[in-house]
Structures are given as C-alpha cells and as structure tokens.
Structure 1
Amino acid sequence: MSVLGIDFGTDCCYVSVARAGGIETIANDYSLRNTPSCISFGEKTRVMGVAAKNQQTTNMKNTVTNFKRFLGRQFRDPLVQEELKRNLPFEVMEQPDGSVGIKVRYQNEEQVFSAEQVTAMLLTKLRDIADAAIGGRTVDCVISVPSYFTDPERRALLDAATIAGFNVLKQMNDSTAVALAYGLYRTDLPNVEEKPRNVVFVDVGYSSMQVYAAAYNKGKLKMLSCVSDPTLGGRDLDLALAQHFRNEFIGKYKMDVATNSRAWLRLTTEVEKLKKQMSANSTQLPFGIECLMDDKDELLTADAFSPREDFELLIAPLLERAHTLLKRGLADCGTFLLFSSKISGLKLDDIYGVEIVGGSTRVPAVKNLIKDVFGQTPSTTLNQDEAVSRGCALQSAMLSPAFKVREFNVTDIQIYPIILKWRGPNHEDGQMEVFPKYHSVPFSKMLTFYRSDAFTLEAYYDGDVPLANNFIGQYRVQGVKPTATGESSKVKVKARINVNGIFLISSASLIEPVPPKEEDAMDASEAANAEGPKTPQKNDKQNGPANTQDNEKMETDGTEKISEGHVVISPRNSDNTGVQCLNSPNDDTEYPFSESQSRLPCEEELLVSKVLLDAPAEEKTGKEDKKKPSKPTVRSVDLPIESLVFQLSKERLDLFTEIEGKLIANDKQEKERADARNAVEEYVYDMRGKVNESLGEFLPPQERESFLSSLDATEEWLYNEGEDCARNVYVDRLVQLRHVGDPPVKRKREFEERPRALDELGGALQLVRKALDLYAAKDERLSLDASVSSILNKPKPKPKVETPPEEPAKTGGKSEQHTDQKATEGDAGATGDRSGEKMEVDS
C-alpha cells in the first residue's frame, strides 16, 4: 500500500510516494519529475502534462494554463482580472453564477469548464502517473495549498480532488510541508524543555512568494508566522525581461510582439530559458528568436545581455517588493506563546538558519537580497523543487494506518483573523474575533447564545486578505424555541477550523431543562440502580452532560488534540453586547465588548483553559473528583444548521464527477483506437522495407507483388477514408495483413536459425560417436564392474499373478494384507531388489 503527497503548483506539479523504502518522487511518462500544470483539448481527446505543454504553441487557444489562480474566485475578482491582463491565449468567461468559466473547443464543439473541472483533469493525470509507477491503484493523498489560500479556494480544491477520485487525508499548507520535510529527519533538535530552534524559510515560486518561520524541538514542530505576496514570483521576472525585449524589437524592427498571442508566448518561453542561463553564467549572453511573427523568416536578435547588471536593473521594482516582504516576515516571525496572548518578535541572533525553496530562489539577486536581510547565507539543505511534495508524502504516511512513522507533532497556524457577526433579538448587530491571527489549527471554540428563535451567524476574514470579498459563509441555526416560561433559550454553537484550514460552524445544540416528570423517572431509575447490582450506564446525549463543565471538552481529529474555549453571548445588558468567558463552572465575570476591540479581554483566559485541558485529570480537578457529580437537570438537543458557503453543491459535484468519468472513458477509448491505427501504420512501413530488402527471396514473385500492392493500398486507406475508423476496423485490417506477411517472416527466421541448429546437432552427434568409439576400444573410463554389469544384464522374469483365495468377509482384510505381502516378497525375489543388491555390491 502506498500514499501520495502532491505539490499542486501554478506552473508544474510534483508527486511523491511514501512506501516501505521511504519517500520517493515519481517520474512521469516522459521520465521527468515535474509535470506541467497544463491541459490541452483536441478534436477527440485531451492531453495533460508534458504532452499538453508541447502542444501549447500549435494548439494555443485550447491549451489551458495558470488555472490554479481561478480556483474559488469570482470572475470579477481583481486578482482574476489582473490575471486576464497577462495575454492568456485561451478564452475565460463569466458563468451565470459569477464564477470563472474556461471556454475551449473540444470534440468539435464549444465547451465551458469550471476551474474545479480543469483542476480535476490534472489531478487525474497525476493519479495515473502514480498508478503506473507504483503498479496499483492509489486513492489516499495529501495535497499542498499555498498558506495564503482562503476558505473558498480550499473548498474548491477539495471539490476538484473529489471529482478526480482522490481521498484527501489533509490539505496541507506548503509552508508546513516544507518545515516538516526539514525537521522530521533531524536528530540534533533541542529537547522539549530547551529553547526551540527557530528556522526561517523563504519560498519564491512561479507566481508567489512566502516567508515563514518554524520552531523545532525534539519530536515537535510549531509554525510561528507566515507572510506572503500572491502576485510576486518567477513569472514576474520573466515578464520584466519580455517587456524589455518587446520594447527593443519595437525600436529595432517596428514590431510589437504583444499584439500577437503566439509570438508573445514564444517570447516568454525564450526569456524564461534566458533567465535560467543568467542564473548560472556571469558572462554576456546573446538573445534571438527565429520567425517570431508576421511570417518573417529571419532571426530577430537583441543586444548582448549582462546578467549581473542589466537584469538586476530591470527587476529592481520587484526586488524592492521582495525586500519589503522579507522585512515584514522578519518582524512578523514571532513566537506565539501557548499560555499567553503576547507575541514577541524574533531577533536575528534567535534565527538558527534560513532555508530557501522554490525555483526562483536560484536567481543570484534573490539570494543576495535574502542574505542582506537576515545577515546569513541562505542554506539549500532541501531540494528546492521537491520539498513540498516530500513533506506532503511524510504527512500522508503519518496519517495512514499502514505506515509507522517517527512520532512528530505538527502544529499549524491560521494566518488570517476570523470574525463572527450576528444580529441580536432587538436587531442590534454584534461581532467578535473568534480566531485571531496565527491561531493554532485545527481548533474548536464553543460559543453560547441566548435566543428565542432562529438566528444567523456570518463569518468574515479580517485584515488584509487577497480576496475581493472577505465573506466566508453564512450559517443559520434553526429549531430554536423559547423556554417554557417564555425566556430566551441557551444555545451552544461550535465554531471550528478543521485540518484543511476551512472554517465552519460544526454543530449547534439547544440546552433546555428536563421536565419534572422526567426528573422523577430519573430518580426512580437511580434508586433501582442503587438497590441492584451496579452496572456501567451508557451516556445518553439526550439526557444532558454528566457534569456542568461543558466548556472543557476534548476532541480528536487525526492525531491532533483539540481544545475548546467557551464564550457566552449573553443578553444581560440591554444592548445584548456582553461577552462572557467561562473557564470554570463558577466564572460569571462579564466583559464589555465593542467593535473597535481587536481581541477579546478573555482571550488569555481561553488559553489558560487550554492549560487545564492538557493537564492530567487528577491535576485539573483536584479534590473535586471525590465529590459525587450533581444530578443532570438539563439536556442537549441538536439543532439543524443551514450553511451558505462558496462551494459546489452536491448535485453539481455529482454532475462534474460523472462528466469526468465519461471524459476518462472517452480518452481511454480514443487511446486504444489511436494505438490500433498506429499499429497498422507501423506494420505497413516495417513490412514494406523488409519485403524490398530481406523478405523478398522468401516470397514467390507473384505473391510478393500482391503483398506490396496490399501494403500500398492500406497506406492510402489510412490517410483517406481510414483516417477516423473504429478500433476493431484497424484490428481486422492488421489481421489480414499479418495473414500474408507472417509466413515469410517465419520462413526467414527458420532459414536464419537452421545453420545454428545443424551445428548443434552435429556437435551432439560427434560426442555420441566419440563415446561409442571409446566403448568399442574398451576404454577403462567406460568399463563396468562385473557385478554391476550382471545386474544391468539380468533378464527380468514375468511377474506371477496369484489369484487370492476366497475367504469369509470378516477375515477378508487380513487375507488381502497377507497375500499382498507374499506377492511383494515374490516380486522382490524374482526381479531382485535393487537396494539389496546395491548393498551387496557396496559390501
């Protein structure tokens, strides 16, 4: 059994597999470890990966790239509109629901696919690559996502993985994946009680840049911070070079490359190669493109380029943005103290090392910039391209029950603050910050409301988020009713960030008092239990919790322990804005809350509550454990929740899954048809050459001419009416050709192998002749001992058949046994027991 780790990138993807031998990065069908994030649609089939990249120039309008930037976003999103300004050769349109649609011509008709569908196509290709390398079916995987991905983007990627048939064990931030790949194999990490080792990672990829820090102890990893720029990456360096040569071509040849999509694509491809050459060479490099545009068959050349001077001058604005991000990352690299709300910044002396990952960190100017900011030379301990996929594969192995991995605790963080808004009974608005910046995930918090009817909660991101709309989702809690006295009921709502970094209201429950009759029944039941033998009682959720400490619960998600804080939204004030933090059953301290506050006054107490939760049971409760728990007087009733989030509905998800299944079946059928056609074509060309050269003498002249005519007719048929036929037509045609072509091939093979067979036969005959001559000459080596010769030459008498006497049935078994024994002895005496005679000879 194997599990996968997938690095899903904007430009290319990497797949690593965890199996018994360790972590291995898989090569694709082109023997390359990186698979381009590219899908090309043809008249009958689709191709993905390297094959699609190779068709990008010839099938430009139907080849889709950079679709990761469209996941979970609306068409009018500023980031999407900025992406469309990059001269994308394919058509992007707005769908009726406002999402992004990608329009291509496929199967001779115009079709529109969503970003989730196109992503699922690429994931299907990655799964096929893994299946071919492993030799079996793989389903479980961990997929990486950029740390700056928001809730809609994460949900969209999960939907795409579901369409592709994956079982996603976890969506892992690529920052955490790199940190895990760095720390798991380290044996020199400080002990848990010692000061942690702080490491900063700088990731400059194809389209984004991230700076994050992690703290390591033995068997423990905690992410500290992460800052990012989703619009600064290696392709921006390529764009700066392309704009430079565009301007040079305009002045030199009066030709604007940007007006021609194919020419612009070729230019960006060539400047990417030039950038890689400049990263490894400090000499001047020539640059030229042949037949760029306007059907001019000439070599367009530019002036020699100095990589250390001109290039850095061109990308100076981009380097300034990178410098600002590095500075912000250094200031933001704070250790979030577990039992305190204070964030303390790291000093340069506190940083153990700076690791770089991502292909664009190979640019010397970027390396020098990192060195200037952090004061030390960046290290390249990790594989800059495969670190993310290897970290995901490690996490996948840790989550899979089929693997035993060294115990290593990973604590991830939420980089955006999340606030929750609601409307009170008197139509007044309220809000609170549920999860502050850099809060640990996964994590759950319990909120308590007092309501008499259904109410709505809305979740938003707070602060600077790369999303046009900070809205996360709307959650309506239904089934709320007032108490028997007409007062507001107590409603507990659990807000949660799961292992995938997705926010949700996971549950809501109504806390209501138990009616007196039910209390009497419970008392009678308790009395009966007291008189009879004591047996363990099953906890019934309908009868309420066993104690009143509902605010201190533990829950397990994967291998992580999740603690819950408990906050009460109380209507005790007239404006219904009181916020109460319950850290113990008797804590009635009420805190005023205003919208201008960036954090709750009770946040420290929530963290103290986590200390109690993580402590042993005897330390938490102390002497209270000796007290008999009070009789439950309330019960919890689950309430239905209607969620409105940016995610595919179940109907659309099932529809897209069905469509993808049909497309896979069509691709398989088309591949089999193409393979059958190629087999006929290959046979025609192969046999024609052989008949004209080596097979001609093994065919009668008339049959030879007839066969050549048949081959020529088949070739003409292939390129005319046989261009697009069903698979069985090609198979039948090949069978007909083989019926004529296989016999001369067999005759030729027999003719070629006959001399060798005759030589072998002659050699065997010579050996036999030599042995007979030696025997005739009475050679001592072939003489036999007299006793042995007598044994071998002794004639064998005919076996005697004795008729067994008729005896009563009751003694039949014994008589048969006696007769068989005598017959056996007789045969031994007549024929001679070889073992006995051999013993005599030996003696």
Structure 2
Amino acid sequence: MAHYCDTVGIDLGTTRSCVAVWDGTQVHVIANESGDNTTPSWVCFPDKKQRRVGKAAERAGTKYASSVIYHSKRLIGNKYGEAVLQDAAKLRWPFKVVDQGDGGAAIQITVAGEPKVVSPEEAGAGVLSYLKKVAEEFIGRPVKKAVITVPAYFNDSQRQATRDAGRIAGLEVKRIINEPTAAALAFGVTEGDAAKDKKNLLVFDFGGGTLDVTIMEIEGGSMNFKVRATDGDTRLGGEDIDARLVEHFLGVFKTQTGVDLAGAKESDKKKKALNKLRQACAQLKVDLSRMTESDVCLDELFGDETLEAKMTREEFEGLIGDLLQRIKIPVLRALEKVHGSMKPGDIDQVLLVGGSSRIPKVQSILGSMFPERELARRINPDEAIAIGAAMDASHAYRMVDVVPRALGVATANHEDPNKQFATIIIPACSPIPEGGLSVTSSFGTSRDEQTGADIEICEGEERFFDDNTHLGEFELLGLPKRPRGEITIYVSMGIDQDGILTVTGSAEGTDIKQDISVRANKGRMSEEVIVRLQRENEEYEMTATKGE
C-alpha cells in the first residue's frame, strides 16, 4: 500500500492548475473527476450561495457570462493601476478590474443581478480548494498541507498573496517555490555526461500568463540544484497570444458580416460571444502547434451571424511574431545575470515547460539561440511543475534558490532631493540558503540634528528609487540630535525560503529598533479578512456543485 506524503504539490496556473503527490518512490499526478490531469483555473458564482470551479465553471460561463472569473493569477498581489487596466482591455475579460479599497486590484462580477467584488486571492482559493478535494479523494484522507509554485519573477507581494490564497483554502502552505525550479526537479535531469562534475540547465517556462527563464546548476550524478540566475516577463504568456488571435478574428468577423462585435454595447450576449471566440482561438493555437493549417467555425457567434475562417501556421507565426521575439530578451538577460556572465554555449540542456512552449516557432527560436543543445520535452509541460512541487514536498532533494530581483532602500540624493537613489542591500540572484538569507547594511544620517529616519524599501535594479517597485516603509523615531553622518542606522533584510521579505532598522548606540514583515504595508489582507474568507470558503465547499 502506498504511503502518500502528507504535503501535496500544487501548480496554481493562470489558465490551468494541477496537483500531485509523492508516495515514497514516485510522484502521482492526480486526475480530477473527469479524468483530466489539469483543471481550468476558472471560478463561477451562479448565485449567492454557489461556487463552481474548473470545467463546471467554464461550462457555466456560457450561461452566467457576467459571473465567471479566470486569469486571476494575472492580478494576484498586484496594485490597481494602469498596468492591470491595460491587461483588462487587451484580454477582454468579462469582469471589471476595480480597486478593492486598499490599493490592490480586485475583480467585480455580477451575481444574481448585483455587483460582487472578489479578490484574486479568493478566486485562487476556489481553485486550490477544488484541487485539495481532488487530492483527498485520491489519497483517502484529509489534505492540510501544500507546496505551491509561483513564477520565478513574482515579486514579494504576489508571493504573499499566493500564500494567503492557500490559507483561505484551508491549506498550510509549507513552502512557496519557483515554477522553473520545480520543473527542473520534475525532469530529473541526472543523466547525461557522467564525466561532467556540473551541468548547466536553462529552464524555459512559457505558460498561460507568464514567461520565466531560470539558469540552474546541477551537481554530477545527484539531484542537488543551485539556481544561478532568473529573469522573466510577467505579462507575456499564452493568453496574450490568444488575445492577438481574438483581435484578428474580430476583424475578420466584421469584414465578413459587417458586425462590429468589438464595438458592440456591453451585454451578456457580447460577453458570451467573446468567450466563445476566445476559447476557439485558444484551440486554434493548439491545433497550429500540431498541424500546418486549421480553421475557426462558430455558428451564430453574435446574433444570427457566423464566423468561418482558415489560418495557416505561417500566418499564425506572422501574426504573433513580435510577441515571440520578446522571448529572447529574458533568456539573454538571465545569461548576463550569472556571476561572470554565461554564453549560450555554456548551457548543456534547455528544459521546456508550460503549454506555450509547444509552439513550433518558440522551439525554433530557442534552437537557433542554443544550437546543438537538446530541447527536453520528456514530461508533459503542463504537469512538470506540479510534479516538481510534489518532489520538493517530499524533502528527498536539496535545492538552493535565489532572490529574483534586487532589494534595497531609498537614500538621499543631495543634487536632486526629489529623486532619491535606490541603494541595493541584497543583489539580484543572491542564493537563499536553507535557513534563509540575511544581509545588513549601514547608513549615516543625511541631515544635522536628524531625529527620525524613513526606511523605504524597493525591489528592482533601477538607479532611482521611484523607478523600482515600492514594497513598504517604516520610520525610526527618537534619534539623538547629532551632526549629519554621526548616527549610524543599520538596515537588515531577511529572505526566507519562500522568497518573503522581512526588514529591520536600528540606530547605533540606542534602543531604537523597528521591523516590518513587508506584507503589512502593501495592501495585503489582514488576518481578520483571511479568517472571514476561510469561513466563506468552507460554506461554498459545503454547498457548491463540484466542477468536473
């Protein structure tokens, strides 16, 4: 009888999600009740007491077009602002993106004729709850712990929000790990040139919502991994390709019928038509990865009008050519980030992960960048990350990850006081050892008789503070009045293995000390809200119709 690990591995994806578990000798990817190993990351609220997830939510979207949520991972941990509004317009989501009141982005849908605001964490928790139940039915006992994966280039706020989603779903999140790191574990790349002491891997993770590139070093004949560098594009994925196809076929539909669906008045009818077109375009993308020609045929797409059109792979590649050229940029940046830099020829193997990596043109571009190197596709790209998360949960493998972006604080710019410098404390790609990483830097006061110091924290590599991502701030008060530079302020930054940041400030020769777990200053959920959403989630689980 199998002895299943008490912690499952979950890939909470933008478009599809997956759960797996280790049984002591191997990993089992757990099929849902329809027999599929992956589940659509969809949530639907047919009425005020029901929540449907997965395929059931996807199906319900044909009837409740204003009550469905998908792509919530694109919003999790993000602030409400221009970037998310641009995503909403480009991807033609059926829901509105709104400010949830604390500066964070939230989702507004319509349930039973009334507006309902759902946080991305709450939507993610719905998917996690469903996967938790799928795992429980397979294992035969309650599942309370999980390792959850995130894109390597997720920032601190996005990681915290993912952890909150797990808690709302009733899971103790044992660890947040980077998706490419999990994928490398899944591929089990211990074979190859046995004479080589070390092997350099490039994990190319092109999923539904993001692109991650991670360079890893594996010790010869072992499963000990060390991340050397990571880069990515958090706004480039398969859904962006789908959106490009949707725009194209909206134009074709208008030419064929004279009907401007894109410009039509907002209504459930329009949302249903756009959803039907989006799903057809997603399938066309898959078809053109296997065939050189395919078509879209949608009877009565809008009103009585039908869309019927063909597309060749060559036309498809031309339509998305600019998007695919963008995949080179994170690859080259990751190579440059390795200490001492790295050349393409130094990479021994390229691991392909994520459904979008199946696109032939993507593989062609990577093949030209890494000639005579294997593009490894031995594991289903849609399942590799969950498999790796389950392996990590087993504690059978040793892995050293890195800080994806530099972390620093604002410091004075005496030439232009309005443009503070960003002084880096933890450089990008710093290794995170098993017990976490801690770095302390010292700074002098910038003014005579200064009695307080604002510690402002940022993430990024830009020279000026405001050009980076602002993470949080706190103040040290009660400094003794001294001439400029005579009081030394120490700022310590700590990163745990989940990549989550804590910052402490203190003043030399005093008892003054202040710290911040950055989550408290970034519009993230309070404990009170998390507890309330946990209760609501339990109520939905008791009454909701399960998705297939």
CA contact (8 A) 1:152 1:647 kept: yes
Say which of 287, 311, 317 aligns to 1:305: 311
Q: CA deviation at 1:440?
A: 1.3
Aligned with residue 81 of structure 1, among 66, 78, 86: 86
Q: State whether residues 491 and 511 of structure 1, in contact with CA within 8 Å, keep that contact through their aligned partners in structure 2.
A: no
Aligned partner of 1:392 in structure 2 is 389
SS class of match (1:52): helix
Deviation at 1:123, TM superposition (A): 1.7
Q: Please give the residue correspondences for 1:677-716 in structure 2 after superposition, counting only pairs within 5 Å.
A: none
Is the Cα–Cα contact under 8 Å of residues 121 and 660 in structure 1 kept in the other structure? no
On the 8 A contact 2:16/2:41 being kept in 1, the answer is yes
* 1:803-814 superposed matches below 5 A: none
Instruction: Identify unmatched segments of 5+ residues in structure 1.
Output: 337-342, 399-404, 513-636, 673-843
> Does the residue aligned with 2:176 lie in a helix, a strand or coil?
strand
Q: Which residue of 2 aligns with 1:737?
A: none
User: 1:117: Cα distance to partner?
Assistant: 1.9
Shift in CA distance, 638/18, structure 1 to aligned 2, threshold 3 Å: farther
Q: Which amino acid aligns with 1:374?
A: F
Shift of 1:332: 2.4
CA distance 1:281–1:464, shift in 2 (3 Å): farther
Identity %: 25
Letter in 2 for 1:439: S
Shift, 1:17, TM fit:
1.1
Distance in 2 between residues matched to 1:509 and 1:464, nearest whole Å? 27
Deviation string for 1:124-171 (max 9, x for gaps)? 222122222211111221111111111211121122222222211111
Cα deviation, residue 38, structure 1: 0.7
Q: For residue 441 of structure 2, what is the aligned residue in structure 1? A: 447
Number of the residue aligned with 2:474: 475
Change (3 A) 1:300 1:71: closer
Which of 280, 293, 300 lines up with 1:291 in the alignment? 300
Q: Superposed, which structure 2 residues align to 1:52-201 within 5 Å?
A: 52-106=57-111, 109-183=114-188, 186=190, 195-201=197-203
2:492, 2:504 within 8 Å by CA — same for their partners in 1?
A: yes
- CA displacement 1:215-267 (0-9 Å, x = unmatched): 11144311122221222222232233333322222222212332333222211
Contact 1:326 1:373 in 2 (8 A): no
Partner of 1:366: 362
Q: Pick from 262, 273, 287: which aligns with 1:263?
A: 273
Which secondary structure state, in structure 1, belongs to the residue aligned with residue 74 of structure 2?
helix
**1:366-765 alignment runs, 5 A limit:** 366-376=362-372, 377-398=374-395, 405=396, 408-422=397-411, 432-441=423-432, 442-448=436-442, 454-463=452-461, 470-477=469-476, 492-506=490-504, 508=506, 639-641=513-515, 645-647=520-522, 652-669=526-543
C-alpha distance in 2 between matches for 1:247 and 1:108: 32
Residues 672-714 of structure 1, C-alpha deviations (whole Å, 9 max, x = no match):
9xxxxxxxxxxxxxxxxxxxxxxxxxxxxxxxxxxxxxxxxxx
Deviations 1:587-629 (A, max 9, x none): xxxxxxxxxxxxxxxxxxxxxxxxxxxxxxxxxxxxxxxxxxx
SS at match of 1:344: coil
Aligned residues: 516
After TM superposition, give the deviation of residue 506 of structure 1 in Å: 4.7
> Cα deviations across residues 791-825 of structure 1 (Å, max 9, x unaligned)?
xxxxxxxxxxxxxxxxxxxxxxxxxxxxxxxxxxx
Q: Residues 431 and 366 (structure 1 numbering): CA distance in 2 closer, same or farther, change over 3 Å?
A: closer
| Distance of 1:13 and 1:464 partners within structure 2 | 34
Change (3 A) 1:317 1:450: closer
Partner of 2:267: none
Corresponding residue for residue 48 of structure 1? 53
The alpha-carbon deviation at position 649 of structure 1 amounts to 6.4
Q: Secondary structure at the match of 2:423?
A: strand
Q: Which has the higher contact order (CA 8 A, sep 6+)?
A: 2
CA distance in structure 2 between the aligned counterparts of 1:649 and 1:206, rounded to whole angstroms: 25
Kindly indicate whether the alpha-carbon contact (under 8 Å) linking 1:420 and 1:457 is maintained by their aligned counterparts in 2.
Answer: yes
Tell which deviates more after alignment, 25-34 or 249-258: 249-258
Distance 1:507 1:498 in 2: 18
Partner Cα separation in structure 1 for residue 512 and residue 394 of structure 2:
35
Residue segments in structure 2 that go unaligned for 5+ positions in a row: 265-269
Distance 1:15 1:464 in 2: 37
Q: State the one-letter code of the partner of 1:305.
A: M
After alignment, is 207-216 or 10-19 more displaced?
Answer: 207-216
**Is the helix fraction higher in 1 or 2?**
1
Q: Do the aligned partners of residues 663 and 232 (structure 1) sit closer, same or farther apart at CA in structure 2, a change above 3 Å counting? A: closer
Which structure is larger by alpha-carbon Rg, 1 or 2?
Answer: 1
- Secondary structure, aligned partner of 1:291: strand
Confirm or deny: 8 A CA contact 1:152 1:646 kept in the other structure: no
In structure 2, distance between residues paired with 1:430 and 1:231: 27
Is contact 2:106-2:120 (8 Å) kept?
yes
Deviates more, 1:267-276 or 1:98-107: 98-107
Contact 1:8 1:14 in 2 (8 A): yes
Q: Is the 8 A contact 2:90 2:243 kept in 1?
A: no
Residues 754-793 of structure 1: CA distance to partner in whole angstroms, max 9, x if unpaired? Answer: xxxxxxxxxxxxxxxxxxxxxxxxxxxxxxxxxxxxxxxx
Q: Residues of 1 paired with 2:154 and 2:516: CA distance? A: 24
Paired residue type of 2:98: M
- In structure 2, the CA distance between the partners of 1:394 and 1:464, relative to structure 1 (3 Å rule), is farther
Q: Give the alignment partner of residue 37 of structure 2, picking from 26, 33, 36.
A: 33
* Closer, same or farther: CA 31–371 of 1 in aligned 2, 3 Å: same
Following the alignment from structure 2 to structure 1, what is the Cα–Cα distance between the partners of residues 286 and 21?
29
Say whether residues 1:275 and 2:264 are aligned partners.
Answer: no
User: Paired residue for 2:213?
Assistant: 211
Name the CA shift for 1:493/1:91 in 2 (closer, same or farther; >3 Å): closer
Residue type at the aligned position of 1:345: M
Contact 2:88/2:96 (CA < 8 Å) preserved in 1? no
Report the structure, 1 or 2, having the larger strand content: 2
**Partner AA of 1:375 in structure 2:** P
CA separation of 1:639 and 1:347: change in aligned 2, threshold 3 A: same
Q: CA deviation at 1:450?
A: 6.7
> Does structure 2 retain, via aligned residues, the 8 Å contact 1:479–1:639?
no
Amino acid at match of 2:218: Y
Q: Distance in 2 between matches of 1:188 and 1:666?
A: 49
Q: Which residue of structure 2 lines up, in the alignment, with residue 728 of structure 1?
A: none
* Alpha-carbon contact 1:419-1:432 (below 8 Å) kept: yes
Alignment check: 8 A CA contact 1:204 1:234 kept: yes
- Provide the secondary structure at the position in 2 that maps to 1:6: strand
CA–CA distance in structure 2, aligned partners of residues 505 and 313 of structure 1: 48
How many Å separate the matches in 1 of 2:16 and 2:544? Answer: 26
Amino acid at match of 2:384: A
Question: Where does residue 821 of structure 1 map in the other structure?
Answer: none
Letter in 1 for 2:341: S
Residue identity matched to 2:311: F
Partner Cα separation in structure 1 for residue 462 and residue 59 of structure 2: 39
- In structure 1, how many angstroms separate the alpha carbons of the residues matched to 2:100 and 2:147? 30
Matched to 2:95, the amino acid is: F
Q: Distance in 2 between matches of 1:294 and 1:231?
A: 33
TM (normalized to structure 1)? 0.57
Structure-2 change in CA distance of 1:273 and 1:310 (3 Å)? same
* Cα distance per residue 1:101-130 (max 9 Å; x no partner): 322334664322222222222222221222
